[in-house]
Chains A and B, each alone.
Chain A
Amino acid sequence: MSPRRTETGGRIDRLRTIRFTFDGAAYTGHAGDTLASALLANGVTLFGRSFKYHRPRGLLAAGVEEPNALVTMLRGEVREPNIPATMVEIYDGLVAVSQNRTPSLAWDIGALNQLGGKLLSAGFYYKTFMGPVIGPLKGTRFWMFCEHFIRRAAGLGKAGTAPDPARYERMNAFCDVLVVGSGPAGLMAAKAAADQGVRVILADLEAHFGGSANWSGEIIDGMPAADWAQRAVGQLEGNDNVRLLPRTTVWGYYDGNTLAALERVTDHKETPAKGEPRQRYWAIRAGTVVLATGSFERPLVFPGNDRPGVMLAHAAERYAVEYGVLPGQRIALFTNNDSAYRSAVALKKAGATIVAIIDVRADISNDMRRLAGEAEAELLDGHAVVATEGGKALTGLKVQRFDAMSGALSGDERSIHADSLLMSGGWSPTIHLASQAGAKAEWDPARQAFLPPKPTQRWLGAGAFTGSFSTAEAIAEGRAAGVSAAGGTAAPAALPTVEAAPGDPDPAPVFEIKAKGKSFVDFQHDVTAEDVRLAHREGFISVEHLKRYTTLGMATDQGKNSNVPGLAIMAEALGKPIPEVGTTRFRPPYTAVSIGSLAAERFGDLKPERLTPMHDWHIANGATMYSAGLWYRPMIYGLPGETVEQAYVREAKATRESAGIVDVSTLGKIAVQGPDAAEFLDRVYTNMFSTLAVGKARYGLMLREDGLAFDDGTTWRLGEQEFLMTTTTANAGKVMQHLEYFLDVIWPELKVTVTSVTDEWAGAAIGGPNARAILASCVTGTAVDNAALPFMGIVHGRIAGVPVMICRLSFSGEMAFEVYSGAGYGTHVWEALIEAGKPFGLVTYGLEALGTMRIEKGHVTGAEIDGRTTARDLHLDWMLSKKKPFIGSAMMDREGLIAPDRLELVGLIALDNRPLNGGGHIVEELDEANPHDSLGHITACCYSPALGKYIALALVKSGKARQGTRAFVSDPLRNRFGPVEIVSNHFYDPDGSRMHG
């Protein structure tokens, strides 16, 4: 039997023992325990070290708001820091370690920071690192010197660097009613909505539905509240129109009633089932949302309120009732409201001794006096706790008489021996999601709490979320909200009856006991009451400034415990009521969200990729693949021992000498159809297409509206009203959007459809002196001679029985043909062409050889059409029709676009016979150390087998006029400097005689 575990009680499975380790020590717990409850049951009081002062900290809460007991979870090499131990369900083999301590939790060298308490107060960084400091280490430089040490000393857990092998998934869900929170209000709302027949999702961040019913000890409908909740859950489970999401934190409320939630699917399992994700990110589109998110109990601010053993009252009640664990044997309670009395009774029933109830109020109701008697506790009304005692665990506390109206302490201090002090500073409705949804919270002076704003989206509230703290109210509001959210009307059925302890929901407006010692407001960021007052003294009186100056509420718990006490202290310092001070708006996420769940599965093998129909053939035949956008294309088909350069030089050379074939299936292809297709193309392209004959192709250039070059390609006229447009691989999507935009928005009167047919066709380009002979040997149904298939002509025939469309056009500069077949026959046709080419020494070539041959020819691609160049810069002004307007024609002659010193396309030849690099700059000066301004840059480069030289294309200032002159390439990053000759971009066969045959 562990020291704190009760004999009976709790919903843990005492027959199942779970083994786990914390900080290397072995512990046991029971199935159903959280890491927090299991460690507490084992007598552990020290769970962490505080952020700044490294003060010892124990458990404060029992749920998601826990600020102190943050642990790092280890699974194999993967570590996940800053997880509240209260939210970790234990499993066999769980490994957790504490954080922010050196060398151990018990003996932490960082605790020395406590000695420099005043130095480390609010604004420490601003004061220390922004102003001048004497000597060389000042301002930013001083910060850079100190940063390493500060980051080691202050902070939370340390993230791991090992890749996370866990699965994460994204899920989309739609529902009529989303109920957030499954306490009595949420359960009633879900059931009421489900009974109306609408689709309901019920989400709760805890593992077990029921919320406060699981630990309130109340009687609902004649049965223990926990049983009532389980019965309600059972009824919901039986409904097809209800989806239950336990362990699911709704963390974001966005426009259009879209909510984000994180489901911890297998974090509580030793081993996930096959295919099960670790976590699931839910994007939920809800018709109406019912927010039944409950409320948080607030701590009281008094000296030593952070000592291990000081806990929220309801948290202790939860540990006792839900987990069968007592936080101590001699328990004192300190409260400003009635709810702590119920906790005292519950703990008494669980076996603890309640030594005292210290209440700041002098006028205690008879009901509460009766409950104090039931708990056999000494009632110290009109008293306050002024100090706590002990080291890493509480040993006692001191109390003094207290006037709740003036806040004054009087009389002698009295010591009370206790090993646990429970506090209750009132309750704050959990309004985070409502705040995210877009409105300002409203202060309720009776509840001393911010209540939810008026809805600006379709949500309804119920239960403690609205400030209705009794279970009877929660049940009534829950049902009403559920019915209303489902668009129904409430049937006059009787509501479940509730037997609950009496209690006034309104606390005394007491947030802080001003006595000597550090009184913590924000436990997780070590912000004290004095820090808040210091911020006020230094002029940070806006609540937004207060937050940033002190970092109050900016830790991972986002101030769930601390916001209201912090504001109250600031309000008092300002002499203003709390509503005038205001509150900050909550932002998503409500709790920390794993990056993995947001990224979901779009990496590695699951990253979308595009493959050509011949992809597997390329792999099987030795291609080295290269990713080009989402596409995979052969880079080279290397022979054993070949370098990339050797391979592409061989491939290009063989193509120019005999024949080569390349997969061009990736080229963008768009079907442009309809009575106005030709007219449309005339408007889209700079040159004329309406004059193109059926069965012919033409090279076309498109400009953007601003007159800069956009894309180029050939377009084939397949019928009077049918064109096949080709685009560059990279721009296919952009061109499609461009066309659709103009058809939908600018020229809706044109009868034209555009359809992406990139994937419909497999394309093989075969070029070289023997290309025609190879085609002639395998094509049936059509001749391919010059008469039947002239330059830019199109014929239809068959290869190996498969219908093909052949267009004679060339990118390589050789006599070349593009052979298109249905994609499903792509490999079949490709293999037939390879077979036909064998007698001619046909080679397959990849992107490198393709690029080499296009550089030799001086053709442009996306490297030159880079969004900054004009048609004239690229010597394509011959394509700018003067007979018609076209997209970009109105803007292309702007002064800046026709300036004489623009970068123009040129060729470069390396005069030192060394490779050139893309991105290298062109300079005029011989002085390598001081090359002066750049004249331009290299866009593409290669070793040219046709010229036997290293060559490049470049964009150079006034490039055309510089042809025939010398300059230098300056590429200091790659240690390259050398002479080049500026030449025409048409290196090879400038008159096109090889291509035209």
Chain B
Amino acid sequence: MAEQYLPERQSPLGPEYHPGSHGNFEHGVDVILSEMRPGTILQLAAWPGEERQLIEIIGKVTGLALPDGAGGGVSSGARAAFGFAPGKFTVVDEAEGLAAAFAGAITPAIGTLTDLSHGRTAIRIAGPRAEWVMAKFFAIDFALPAFPLGAGRSTNHHDVFAQIQRTGADQFDIYVFRSFARSFWKALCHASEEVGYEVQ
């Protein structure tokens, strides 16, 4: 197995990644920031009319039962999936190699599979002030009723396109283009300073 000799993937955050507590944390940290580094990030797209079939395939391959409807999603810890555009889904796995599992299942009649495991960086923000900090970046309603658990959204901050999935009551996973990741991370840390944050 050649894969076992693969080097560790380099994080795009590089010198801007500083584990520990930062900002105004003397009274505790209200936000925890981390890079998730999943092994697989896939984009799955269904042709019009094939969406339900693709949702079924996602369920079979990942075990994730995606709700029907715009922006619906689900996360199970190791795996997550959410719709981010009509007929389009992001599927994430802690492990590498999920693309191969889909390759045979998604036929040209159903849609396409695009591997973005290197191209997107997953950043997690969690904690009681996560919504507060996120509101500094995105014109999205982050309140739980408006943005339910598991759901996904496509949006952008300045020029940085982002997909966001709510993976906890006070936790969001943000997927940004790798080339923007360091810049976005810096901004996220900066915005978190006032509430006190910890980088894990």
Contacts and interface: CB of A to CB of B under 8 A. Distances in A.
B65 to A, nearest CB: 24
Contact of B118 (A274, A630, A753, A761): A761
Interface string B108-150: 1001101111111000000000000001101111010010000
Interface stretch (B55-63, B71-79, B165-173, B181-189): B181-189
Contacts of B10: 613, 824-828
Query: On chain B, which size bracket covers the interface?
Result: 35 or more
Interface string A575-615: 00000000000000000000000000110011111111101
Given A612-B179, A721-B108, A751-B47, A276 B194 contact: yes
B67 interface: no
Given A276-B24, A751-B47, A801-B5, A616 B179 contact: no
A695 interface: no
Given A608-B158, A616-B14, A758 B9 contact: no
A931 interface: no
20 contacts: A172-B139, A274-B23, A276-B194, A608-B157, A608-B158, A608-B184, A610-B180, A612-B179, A616-B15, A665-B179, A673-B112, A751-B47, A753-B45, A758-B119, A758-B179, A762-B118, A822-B9, A822-B118, A825-B7, A825-B118
Contacts of A171: 135-136
Interface string A809-839: 0000000000000111111100000000000
Interface of B: 2, 5-7, 9-10, 12, 14-15, 23-24, 43, 45, 47, 108, 111-112, 114-120, 135-136, 138-141, 143, 146, 157-160, 177-180, 182-184, 186-187, 190-195
A631 B178 CA distance: 12
B2 to A, nearest CB: 7
A381 interface: no
Q: Max chain A CB contacts within 10 Å: which of B24, B136, B146? A: B136
Contacts of A173: 135
A61 B139 CA distance: 37
A666 B180 CA distance: 12
Contacts of B183: 607-611
Closest 4 CB pairs of A and B: A275-B193, A824-B9, A760-B119, A275-B194
A674 B108 contact: yes
Contacts of A630: 159
Interface centre among B10, B108, B139, B187 (most CB of A within 10 A): B10
B194 A755 contact: no
Contacts of B190: 275, 601, 605-606
A639 interface: no
A608 B160 contact: yes
Contact of A759 (B2, B120, B159, B192): B120
B5 A174 contact: no
Interface string A522-542: 000000000000000000000
A828 to B, nearest CB: 5
Contacts of B15: 616
Contacts of A18: none
Contacts of B140: 172
B194 A277 contact: yes
B1 to A, nearest CB: 11
Given A274-B193, A605-B186, A630-B159, A760 B115 contact: yes
Nearest to A826: B10
A752 to B, nearest CB: 9
A825 B114 contact: no
A162 interface: no
Nearest to A274: B24
Contacts of B180: 608-610
B7 A828 contact: yes
B178 A755 contact: no
A665 B117 CA distance: 16
Contacts of A674: 47, 108, 112
Given A630-B159, A674-B108, A759-B118, A172 B179 contact: no
Contacts of A276: 24, 194
Contacts of A602: 158
Contacts of A613: 10, 12, 178
Given A608-B183, A673-B112, A759-B119, 6 more contacts: A274-B23, A608-B158, A761-B119, A822-B117, A823-B118, A825-B10
Contacts of B108: 674-675, 721, 751
A822 B116 CA distance: 9
A673 B12 contact: no
Residue among B43, B146, B179, B180 facing the most chain A CB atoms (10 A cut-off): B179
A762 B10 CA distance: 12
Contact of A610 (B117, B135, B179, B191): B179
Contacts of B182: 611
Nearest to A748: B48
A4 to B, nearest CB: 38
A721 B157 CA distance: 33
Contacts of A405: none
Given A602-B158, A757-B119, A199 B143 contact: yes
B178 A802 contact: no
Contacts of A826: 10
Contacts of A802: 6-7
A138 interface: no
A759 B186 contact: no
A755 B115 CA distance: 10
B6 A611 contact: no
A171 B129 CA distance: 13
Interface in A733-757: 751, 753, 755-757
Contacts of B135: 171-173
Interface string A270-281: 000111110000
Nearest to B158: A608
A274 to B, nearest CB: 4
B118 A606 contact: no
A275 B114 contact: no
Interface in A258-283: 273-277, 283
B178 A170 contact: no
Which interface residue of A277, A605, A611, A826 has the most chain B CB atoms within 10 A? A611
Nearest to A666: B179
Nearest to B27: A273
A174 B146 contact: yes
A602 B157 CA distance: 10
Interface centre among B6, B111, B141, B192, by most chain A C-beta atoms within 10 angstroms, is B6
Nearest to B121: A759
Max chain A C-beta neighbours (<10 A), residue from B15, B45, B119, B193: B119
B9 A275 contact: no
Contact of A673 (B14, B114, B157, B158): B114
Contacts of A615: 14
A801 B6 contact: yes
B51 to A, nearest CB: 13
Nearest to B139: A172
Which of B14, B23, B108, B112 has its CB near the most chain A CB atoms (within 10 A)?
A: B112
Contacts of A322: none
A755 B179 contact: no
Contacts of B179: 610-612, 631, 665, 758-759
Given A275-B24, A758-B179, A169 B191 contact: yes
B136 A170 contact: yes
A671 interface: yes
Nearest to B157: A608
B121 to A, nearest CB: 8
A825 B111 contact: no
Given A675-B108, A757-B119, A274 B136 contact: no
A178 to B, nearest CB: 14
A737 to B, nearest CB: 12
A757 B193 CA distance: 32
